[in-house]
Amino acid sequence: MANVALIPALAKTLLAIAWADGELHPEEEATLKEVLGLLPSMTALDWAVIELYIVAPIETKEREELVQYLVQHIRSSADKTIALEAVDAMMAADGAIQPAEEAFARSVREVIAATDVSALGLLRRVVGGTMRAVPRRQTALEVWRVNPVLYLLQTQLQSDVVDQHVATTALAAGIMGQVVRLTPAGTETLRPVLVDALRNDWDAGALAEQLADAALALTHRNIDYHRIARELVARAGEAERVRLLDTLFAIANAADNVAPDEIDEIRVIAERLNLTRAQFIRAKLKIPGVERGGL
């Protein structure tokens, strides 16, 4: 019978290797997905979990935990072969291997090769208490789906405890990111707009910069903004949501020109935030007509 648990555990370890130098470049992410595509198929849920490890660095302690989690799921010689070949394939496909990545990959390979897949070896792991629970990051999947900015913040703070006000503010930052995706303005222009709004309108205090950076970092990921908006409606008052519209137009106008597609996107957001057309128009008209093409 195929070991369906092996491939997701292996994928997390490959990501740990890619993060070993402290960065995950787009080329490395593409390489990883290419290697995983050669392995037995993963479910949609498996891929959703993998995204948790793509968007935030994997530090030393967590990398070691993921390797041990992989070892837990190596149960045959065939499993060992799949794991070793995947590590080799990833290193071969990555055209710019960093020393830290190479060293960690070598250590992972040694651990895999040394794994005892006999019945006695598996028993020793169970009796010795080395069978591990689901990795901690994986338990945050629902947070990632509903409030991805909060997920990144929790990962950076290495804490699952965040008060409800911060959670609501993180949702607002996520909606700001939805408009950032469309505007041609650069990060250096957009970041102060987000930070000021989070600090002044949402009382984010010292977390304003981290929340803004998280929202900006997620603009190239596949985010369910409809779900974020629905969650924000349940948490934020109408006045807060109206002020958010002003921020969205300020973001869109960061390049001194609000494009028609940006106006359309903000209109959709206003509807999702349960705001009226009149509220949307009032926010839009705060932008001079010349800067929104008269629309």
Report the CATH number that the domain containing residue 172 is assigned in CATH: 1.10.3680
Domain that residue 278 falls in:
147-292
* Alpha helix stretches (DSSP H) within 38-147: 44-54, 60-72, 77-93, 99-114, 119-127, 141-146
In this prediction, residue 130 carries a pLDDT of: 52
Domain for residue 95, yes or no? yes
Domain for residue 165, yes or no? yes
Picking from 220, 234, 217, the residue whose alpha carbon sits closest to that of residue 171 is 234
In this prediction, residue 27 carries a pLDDT of: 78
Are 131 and 194 part of one and the same domain?
A: no
Cα dihedral 92, 94, 100, 102, rounded to 10, equals 0
Are 167 and 229 part of one and the same domain?
A: yes
Are 133 and 180 part of one and the same domain?
A: no
Q: What total of structural domains would you count in the chain?
A: 2
Domain for residue 198, yes or no? yes
Are 71 and 117 part of one and the same domain?
A: yes
Q: Which two tokens stand for residue 277?
A: 């057309």
Q: How far apart are CA 244 and CA 109, in angstroms?
A: 50
Banded model confidence at residue 271, pLDDT cuts 50, 70, 90: very high
Banded model confidence at residue 126, pLDDT cuts 50, 70, 90: low
Domain for residue 1, yes or no? no
Are 24 and 102 part of one and the same domain?
A: yes
Are 94 and 110 part of one and the same domain?
A: yes
* Alpha helix stretches (DSSP H) within 135-274: 141-146, 148-157, 164-180, 187-200, 208-217, 225-235, 238-252, 260-272
Are 101 and 188 part of one and the same domain?
A: no
Domain for residue 18, yes or no? yes
Domain for residue 170, yes or no? yes
Which of 89, 108, 139 corresponds to the end of one domain? 139
Are 115 and 181 part of one and the same domain?
A: no
Higher pLDDT residue, 143 or 159?
Answer: 143
In this prediction, residue 95 carries a pLDDT of: 64
Is residue 225 over pLDDT 70? yes
Are 169 and 278 part of one and the same domain?
A: yes
pTM: 0.85
Picking from 201, 234, 219, 210, the residue whose alpha carbon sits closest to that of residue 150 is 210
In this prediction, residue 106 carries a pLDDT of: 93
Is residue 252 over pLDDT 70? yes
Is residue 97 over pLDDT 60? yes
Are 82 and 180 part of one and the same domain?
A: no
Q: How far apart are CA 108 and CA 210, in angstroms?
A: 33
Domain for residue 39, yes or no? yes
Which of 99, 118, 139 corresponds to the end of one domain? 139
Are 70 and 158 part of one and the same domain?
A: no
In this prediction, residue 125 carries a pLDDT of: 63
Q: How far apart are CA 245 and CA 74, in angstroms?
A: 51
